[in-house]
Structure 1
Amino acid sequence: MDSALLEVLVGLAITFGLFGVVVQVLPGSLIIVAAIAVWAVVTGGTAAWVVLGVAVAAIVASAIGKYVVAGAHLRREKVPGSAIVWGGVAAIVGFFVIPVVGLFVGFVGGVYLAERMRLGSHPDAWRATKVALRATGLTILIELAGALVATGAWVVGLVVT
């Protein structure tokens, strides 16, 4: 395969992966690591393998970090993990019931209903829902940071190889 074509295809896959990280419908980080792994195998050499190592380390660190940070945020605000689980289940249902926005609507609705049943009042349930949304936003930002570090490593690898 032509080196330039490979680099364009890997770049497109990485862009697709970055989109997946932000939208949270696709496994964006995995797509990015897979694309960089294909590039490293085809390109070969120490630099390519170092780039892959940095990319994997960044993605793994962000995967661990997002759960640690979001979990701490939820615990500090006394929102149970079960609310997030109910939000996730409702998000999946919403994705299929309401095109385009169903994922978001389902998540918010699921967390709100779970917390309304647990706490009994609208203001408390809405506060918990906003906390859950902030925690979700933090996870997206942390995963995006890891994905951008992996992408940056690949760009450096392109220059070096």
Structure 2
Amino acid sequence: MGAWQLLLVGLVLLLGLFGVLVPGVPGPWLVWAAVMWWALHVRTGPAWWLLVGASGLMLVTQVVVWQLPARRVRPLGVTGRMVAYAGTGALLGFVLLPVVGVVPGFVGGIYLAERLRLGGHGQAAAATRAVMRSAGTSVLVQLSACLLVVAAWVGAVLAG
């Protein structure tokens, strides 16, 4: 697979990560489709194992998300700034403390956005809890799975 094709797969993976944060965009499916495209073109053992692992993880993620309450973000006033802070926090947390850092990074990003918007700790903490109860948990589950698949893909590309 050439450098341009790897770049395009990487861009689709990045689009999938952003798609998790934007309602209505099928982010996890974009991540899975990019890994499938890569595996079909590379045709190595690690590529097939990554595709199988990504497929299993995405299926488990969908089952978990279906078991969570429905996403209701409109009444909470979820803004683009909050989504950007939460996504950035999750990515930083994932990089600084692999795999488990996505949770405190995501929640911390929401808290920081609410703290800047509302001003006080008590109000920001209450707003963060409300966001996490209504929509944050399902987004966090999907984002964690997608980050894990993207990190595995980057590792597989660098290794071989």
TM-score by length of 2: 0.60
- Per-residue CA shift, 1:35-79, capped at 9, x if unaligned? 1100000011111101111111221121112232x24xxxxxxxx
Instruction: Please state whether the residue corresponding to 2:25 is helix, strand or coil.
Output: coil
**Paired residue for 1:52?**
51
- Per-residue CA shift, 1:88-115, capped at 9, x if unaligned? xxxxxxxxxxxxxxxx5xx328xxxxxx
**Paired residue for 2:155?**
156
Q: Match for 2:75 among 96, 99, 108?
A: 108
Q: Is residue 32 of structure 1 aligned with residue 31 of structure 2?
A: yes
Q: Distance in 2 between matches of 1:155 and 1:8?
A: 11
Structure 1 residue runs of 4+, over 3 Å off? 130-133
Match of 2:139, as an amino acid? I
**Paired residue for 2:14?**
15
Q: Distance in 1 between matches of 2:152 and 2:20?
A: 17
Gaps of 5+ in 1: 72-83, 88-103, 110-129
Match of 1:16, as an amino acid? L
Q: Distance in 1 between matches of 2:49 and 2:155?
A: 11
Match of 1:53, as an amino acid? V
Q: Distance in 2 between matches of 1:137 and 1:47?
A: 33
Percent identity for Structure 1 against Structure 2 = 27
Larger Cα-atom Rg? 1
Match of 1:108, as an amino acid? P
**RMSD (Å) for aligned C-alpha atoms:** 2.4
Relative contact order higher in (CA < 8 Å, ≥ 6 apart) = 1
Report 1:122-137 matches (<5 A): 134-137=133-136
**Pairwise CA distance, 1:12:** 0.3
Instruction: Please state whether the residue corresponding to 2:24 is helix, strand or coil.
Output: coil
Gaps of 5+ in 2: 77-128
TM-score by length of 1: 0.60
